[in-house]
Structure 1
């Protein structure tokens, strides 16, 4: 059985890089998960041609009975960063569904998009698959899949650019989840989730400001600069929920003191340096004053007769 890393869903930057989101506006994610065994996935596949080559070398083996080919235009990796954005997709990409044994995901597919039509044609040619198109607007979902192999084509509309995009993504995710739930339990299935980049990024949108991150392991080690929270608690919240067991808190409590707490922040360090300079200046000043040697006689009045004559 081959296992594949599921990005941390996406938004593979396991350690999110400090690059700008604007530098990757023309990228979008790619997901694949299956109840069948797939060839090992090369995590360096970040271009559309590389992902397409991976599919061309893997799918001709016809590993599944049913292929759900999803097209979701107008998205970016940041749309999937939170737990609530696409929970059903997230659950399977992170392999929380015990039926899923193979996962492959790329947080940012650059240099074009993965062509869903080419994937469908490949399955029809190599596997003799029959294509069933799902009417998303009419919510028309086939209740049975008599012939195998079958390609279930699901084309979602491009996400709107306003605040309703998040809800639309959740609705699309629920629709896809319903299709998967209706599949026969005795049949292996593969979901190939392709996307295309969104056309524009609102310059003033809070979604892309640095960052209140309700984030989780939804990330592929890709270079996505989402919104970063300055508090430790927020960053830990989702990572602990999704990537650690319940003993995580106990493990943190058992860490050495200097790994558990930060004792020297940049502000404290600068204050110590400034204080040291002040003490050195004060020391040399006092030393200089102390080195002056003036006799006490210089401050006494001369009462000798000669001195009195001089004064006259």
Structure 2
């Protein structure tokens, strides 16, 4: 390959989920519907929590942050995908790809961190109920969220700065529907050893530590519940964790599924299809999980919708 073909790359080509022209209208309709449902569901959660004073607690503060992150997460990838399908184009600018990689890592990491913080919140609520409001005070809640943002912004920026040092061939094709760092590194024309090592280390740290925190929190919760006297008390205490456990299972389950799918099949297209689960389906289902399994959220949403209807 000539040196001139490696420098000043202005754009990449996103191959998408399928190159079949007949499938494009169907893909556009499905993903537009999923995007709108995700936006509406998460916005309703945020508005309901903000407008209902009964939900101004640490648990729902973190939930509203999770909904905000899910909106940003899906907005990082799907609008560009929809635009490319609509315009019958595969282009994404070099800077646009860098931005997509960066913000995708930020919001995926924030999802992970917030789920960990929410597990800690449930641990304090169940294992130290008398000191809950003292420990989980507004100042600590804000500090925890700000720390999460600071860490993930810094790690993502470091990985992007390493990526900027790479060179790419003109006409580079990315076998995905968005710019995912691992996929972009595979198509680079320069040595990516340092990038891959940094990516593996960052992924391990950002997954192992949060997952360890979640497992520790729930091990303490289970241990505490085993000491509770009646089965009714156990059920009432553990029911507050049901929605959170469902979201954790969905998030990590789909993430592991994508990893195993790419490791087993070695097919970029199948890996792209599998990644739809955690990039699109998970943010879409989170509001339903929390609203259907949580009486407080259902009540707040009901009051919000009745209030909106009465104003029309």
Fold match (TM-score > 0.5): no
More strand, by proportion? 1
More helix, by proportion? 2
